[in-house]
Amino acid sequence: MRDETQMYQLLLQIAEQDDRILAVYMNGSRTNKNAPKDIFQDYDIVYVVLETDSFIKDSEWPNKFGTILYMQYPDESPDYPNDKENHYGWLMQFEDGVRIDLTVQTLQYAKEHIHDDKLCRILLDKEKILPVIPEATDADYYIKKPTEEQFQACTNEFWWCSNNLAKGLWRKEMPYVQDMTNFVVRKQLEKMLSWKVGIQTDFQVSVGKSAKYLYRWLDASEYQGYLDTYFGGNINEAWTAVMQMCDLFEHTSKYVAEKLRYSYNVAEGKAARGFLEQVRQLSPNANDFTIGKQ
């Protein structure tokens, strides 16, 4: 695998030798001093160019960066809009393990958008055409202190959508349960755990995408409790994980509410948990269901 020094030399050499390239800047985890350093960090590189068309038409150009194992052209996807005249990207995985996410941007586009992400560092500016930018920081991604309205919305969304988990598990519709858990209910748990971390750190840290850095601030038992909310394709395992999710959410919500002096709707949580527990015990052949009666 090429090391960081070799990669920067290559990326800058290609830019310096190509008159179409005016400047180079980088963003992503390699500019974030708080991100862990490892061999799987991408090189998120932007070449500021006179125009994009000649790069797009040259199918051999990406090979300048190394022997490509496979790649993606995100701006060619039929599922997403594109603006090829102003920016175009290549996502490249190389045989030696290096990955480059490369974008070319026109000068005007770069000037308008370089401030969009504070995790940005200028590597080369041939003619001093780019605006001055501050030192790269992940401050934009710090946990935001919730308003009481946001807190209440989070708790209501969690408990209300747990209803769907109960129905899906009773019906043995595992694909639906997985989607509802991970794309809806879990997101509320992530928020609540993130707010707890924010309280403990004065809202001066980021827990990363998908709350992947929660382990840095939660104690070992609590983080293991969070990991225990993940489940596979077994219904009984899923029920156990869902109830663990409820325990963790309720405990964390009460902590956040106390520290921020917000009110926590105890009755709502109790009612939702009661519904879950009754559905869990319900016969798979039941043709009637009355809340509060077994």
For 74-83, the pLDDT digits (tens) are 999 999 999 9
In tens, the pLDDT along 264-278 reads 999 999 999 999 999
Q: Is residue 259 part of a domain?
A: yes
72 in a structural domain: yes
Asked whether residue 290 is domain-assigned, the answer is: no
Percent of the chain exceeding pLDDT 90 equals 90
Burial bucket for residue 284 (CB in 10 Å: 0-12, 13-18, 19+): exposed
Q: Residue 76's domain is classified under what CATH number?
A: 3.30.460.10
286 in any annotated domain:
no
Residues 202 and 215 in one domain: yes
Same domain, 26 and 93: yes
Question: Do 112 and 225 have their domain in common?
Answer: no
* In the predicted structure, residue 285 carries a pLDDT above the cut 90: no
35-39, 86-90, 101-105, 259-263: range with lowest mean pLDDT: 35-39
Res 230: pLDDT: 98
Q: Are residues 55 and 157 in the same domain?
A: no
Rounded average pLDDT over 131-160:
95
Q: What pLDDT sits at residue 294?
A: 41
Q: Tokens at residue 136, please?
A: 């790269």
Q: How far apart are CA 24 and CA 100, in angstroms?
A: 14
Based on the fold, state whether residues 146 and 276 are members of the same structural domain: yes
Q: Please count the other Cβ atoms lying within 10 Å of the Cβ belonging to residue 100.
A: 21
pLDDT of residue 289: 81
| Predicted pLDDT at 288 | 84
Is residue 276 within 8 Å of residue 244, measured between CB atoms?
no
pLDDT of 249: 98
**Distance in angstroms (rounded) separating the CA atoms of residues 214 and 185:** 17
Residues 99 and 36 both lie in one domain = yes
**Contact in structure between 26 and 123 (CB atoms under 8 Å):** yes
Structural domain for 223, as ranges: 142-281
**Which of 119, 140, 161 is a domain's end point?**
140
- In this structure, the answer to whether residues 119 and 163 fall within a common structural domain is no
Same domain, 197 and 257: yes
Same domain, 134 and 12: yes
In a domain, 75, yes or no: yes
Per the model's pLDDT, the better-predicted residue between 101 and 286 turns out to be 101
Stated as kind and residue range, the H or E segment containing 246 is: helix 235-260
User: Does one domain contain both 19 and 133?
Assistant: yes
Among 60-64, 137-141, 234-238, where is mean pLDDT lowest? 137-141
pLDDT for residue 292 is more than 90: no
Q: How confident is the model at residue 12 (pLDDT cuts 50, 70, 90)?
A: very high
Q: Evaluate if residue 287 carries a pLDDT over 90.
A: no
Whole-number pLDDT of residue 27: 93
Mean pLDDT of 157-166: 97
Residue 236: give its domain's CATH number. Answer: 1.20.120.330
Structure tokens at 154: 């989070």
CA-to-CA separations, 226 to 63, 186, 244, in angstroms, rounded: 43, 10, 8
**Residue that finishes a domain, picked among 86, 108, 140:** 140
For residue 34, being part of any structural domain is answered with yes
Statement to judge: residues 134 and 146 lie in one domain: no
Can you tell me the distance from the alpha carbon of 195 to that of 201, in angstroms, rounded to the nearest whole number? 10
Residues 33 and 115 in one domain: yes
What is the number of domains present in the chain?
Answer: 2
pLDDT, residue 117, reads: 87
On whether residue 293 sits in a domain, the answer given is no
Residue 288 counted as domain residue: no
Final residue before a domain boundary, out of 140, 160, 189:
140
| Cα gap 90→97, rounded to integer Å | 16
In the beta sheet, which residues pair with residue 92? 71, 100
CA distances from 81 to 62, 75, 165, 258, 263 (A): 22, 8, 34, 45, 43
pLDDT mean across residues, the chain: 95
